[in-house]
Amino acid sequence: MDKHYSPGDNINQYSIIKIIGEGRYGIAYLVEDLNLNKYVLKQLKNDMVEAKRKKLFYEEELLKKLNDYRFPKFIEKFNYENSQIYVLEYIEGKDFEVILSEEGYEFTKKEIYDIADQLIEIVYTLQNEGIVHRDIRTPNIILGENKKLKLIDFGLSRYIDDKRYVKEIDYWFIADFLIHLYYTSFYKEDILEEKPWFEELTLSKEECLFLKRLMSIEESYKSIDEIKCNLEDIKILEKY
């Protein structure tokens, strides 16, 4: 049985502030060190470490490759009371799960295009290192200072092998995320009939095709450069 720690407990030099979340592989805590610097501390669950040892340690390896403010830095790992501990940089800002679910912010098209630009650049950077993230969802995208995006949680990330781990999965996640943003300005009438997003949302023909191609509903994009160029064309047509 894995031990659960509480606010005020210490793990080496780190004092626990609160539990951030718990999943199959571990428990995440917000902590601070003796100098009051904040970090994310991950306590890996022992049964998962034994069963999925190779998969668990991709996060460490991949984050060490990335030296970029848009991704958390891997600080250190150690054993503590029979648990494997990871310490990661704490990324300041709000995640989009909070922005969409709790704050109810309504995004303009200009803001959506800016976010799309940033997400595409993030994926471009990952692909240059041969990495596919595989989990670009609302809780893993942080809106930081000056509306700059940061991407966290590399637990499912892998090296692209064009077989099981393909770059196209990140394109699908980008589209799904953008659809969430488009829906913030959608007001559904009291109609019983359920419609797919491409019929409900007010999208131009070009926007709709862009999202469908990202999701491989229509012909898939061949490269991230093609995606970037297509988005620029859409912004010109939409006068953004």
Answer whether residue 1 is part of any domain. no
Give the integer Cα–Cα distance in Å for 126 and 167.
10
> Is 80 in the same domain as 105?
no
Answer whether residue 4 is part of any domain. no
Given a cut of 90, is residue 52 above it in pLDDT? no
Q: How is residue 166 annotated by DSSP?
A: -
Count of helices and strands (H, E) across the chain: 9, 11
* CATH code assigned at 17: 3.30.200.20
Give the integer Cα–Cα distance in Å for 31 and 178.
32
> What is the rounded average pLDDT of the residues 134-155?
95
Give the integer Cα–Cα distance in Å for 189 and 82.
55
pTM: 0.91
Which structural domain range is residue 165 located in?
94-237
Give the integer Cα–Cα distance in Å for 239 and 132.
32
> What is the rounded average pLDDT of the residues 127-147?
96
Domain boundary pick from 56, 89, 122? 89
Answer whether residue 5 is part of any domain. no
> Is 162 in the same domain as 221?
yes
Domain count, the chain: 2
Give the integer Cα–Cα distance in Å for 227 and 136.
17
Domain boundary pick from 24, 54, 89? 89
> What is the rounded average pLDDT of the residues 224-234?
97
> Is 107 in the same domain as 208?
yes
Which residues form the catalytic set? Answer: 135
pLDDT tens for each residue of 170-196: 999 999 999 999 999 987 665 567 889
> Is 38 in the same domain as 103?
no
> Is 190 in the same domain as 101?
yes
Q: How is residue 32 annotated by DSSP?
A: E
Contacts of 109 (CB under 8 A, 6+ apart): 238, 240
